[in-house]
């Protein structure tokens, strides 16, 4: 049986790194490539973090540098959430690794168009690269098998403003391009992470005991753990990107969902980056999103354990 084909777009910081491990370690998935995007940290740092994570699992998947900032505005990072280096400031050697190219958007397009109907795209950061890809090659709308996006919220509040989730807020114009492109996507928002993917301290210690990957996955969350304690008031740290990746890997872990039209508010108002979920169909627009409301926490944690238990080579 042939492996499933994934392409991953990431603004690699602490939770993105764990999501990458999950995909790269999965025995039934062939990660065709990784594109980086500015978001949690600068494009240079996001790229080094992705390369370090890839190398840690013994993978040779190509990492391509993508957009270095949002389409129409300066980049605002989340270093206060993930550390100055995006990986918890624990002293990892996050430098000097060489990406496969500086053509991340084209690499995404090529991977999709070279295998029409087969590629599953997982986006873990701002949607800048995907928006650019849609503008350069609109045919990817019909060529993609599936798109799973960590972004937005099905229900309020947001995590960067009272209304907006960080990924959509960083580049709301890109998010609006994607939601109005005709592309059907699956939205795994920040809200399901706080409900189903919070790792309390006892569980973190258990994951850390699994070995090299477990230690890595937990140790890089230190700055995030403190942010969650003081700002989002969680009993532990949450892992939105790994939960989105788990849904990409196993769609059946979703326990409550609905099909709706979803849009994102661009611009600079107080509603910048807000997710609009048209639950009543008032817009009259065609459904474009599998909106995920609930997921199976136990199965997510099982997948996390499986990915972090073995340090053997990935793809």
The residues pairing with 179 across neighbouring beta strands, listed in sequence order, are: none
CB 129 within 8 A of CB 28: no
CB 28 within 8 A of CB 4: yes
DSSP secondary structure letters along 74-100: -----HHHH-TTSSTTS-----S---S
Peptide bond into 244 cis (omega under 30): no
Q: Active-site residue 11, yes or no?
A: yes
CA angle, residues 121, 116, 176, in degrees to nearest 5: 45
Instruction: Pick the catalytic residue from 11, 15, 238, 263.
Output: 11
- Do the bridges between strand 254-264 and strand 275-278 make them parallel or antiparallel, or are there none, so unpaired? antiparallel
CB 244 within 8 A of CB 153: no
Q: Is the dihedral angle over the CA atoms 215, 220, 225, 228 positive or is it negative? A: negative
Catalytic residues, by residue number, are 11
């Amino acid at each position: 049986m042939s492996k499933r084909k994934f392409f991953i777009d990431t603004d690699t910081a602490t939770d993105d790194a764990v999501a990458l491990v999950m995909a790269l370690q999965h025995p039934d998935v062939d990660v065709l490539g990784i594109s980086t995007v500015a978001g949690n940290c600068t494009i240079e740092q996001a790229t080094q973090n992705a390369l370090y994570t890839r190398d840690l699992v013994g993978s040779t998947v190509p990492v391509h540098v993508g957009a270095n900032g949002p389409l129409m505005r300066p980049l605002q990072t989340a270093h206060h959430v993930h550390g100055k280096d995006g990986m918890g400031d624990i002293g990892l050697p996050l430098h000097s690794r060489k990406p496969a190219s500086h053509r991340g958007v084209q690499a995404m397009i090529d991977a999709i168009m070279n295998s029409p109907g087969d590629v599953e795209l997982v986006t873990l950061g701002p949607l800048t690269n995907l928006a650019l890809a849609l503008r350069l090659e609109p045919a990817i709308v019909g060529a993609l098998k599936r798109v799973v996006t960590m972004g937005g919220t099905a229900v309020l509040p947001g995590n960067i403003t009272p209304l907006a989730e960080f990924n959509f807020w960083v580049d709301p114009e890109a998010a609006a391009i994607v939601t109005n492109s005709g592309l059907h996507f699956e939205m795994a928002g920040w809200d399901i992470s706080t409900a189903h993917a919070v790792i309390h301290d006892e569980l973190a210690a258990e994951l850390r005991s699994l070995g090299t990957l477990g230690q890595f996955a937990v140790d890089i969350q230190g700055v995030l753990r403190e942010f969650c304690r003081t700002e989002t008031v969680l009993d532990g740290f949450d892992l939105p990107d790994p939960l989105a990746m788990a849904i990409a890997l196993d769609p059946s872990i979703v326990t409550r969902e609905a099909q709706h039209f979803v849009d994102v508010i661009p611009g600079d108002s107080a509603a910048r980056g807000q997710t609009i979920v048209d639950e009543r169909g008032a817009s009259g627009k065609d459904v474009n999103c599998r909106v995920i409301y609930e997921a199976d926490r136990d199965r997510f944690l099982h997948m996390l354990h499986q990915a972090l238990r073995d340090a053997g080579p990935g793809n």
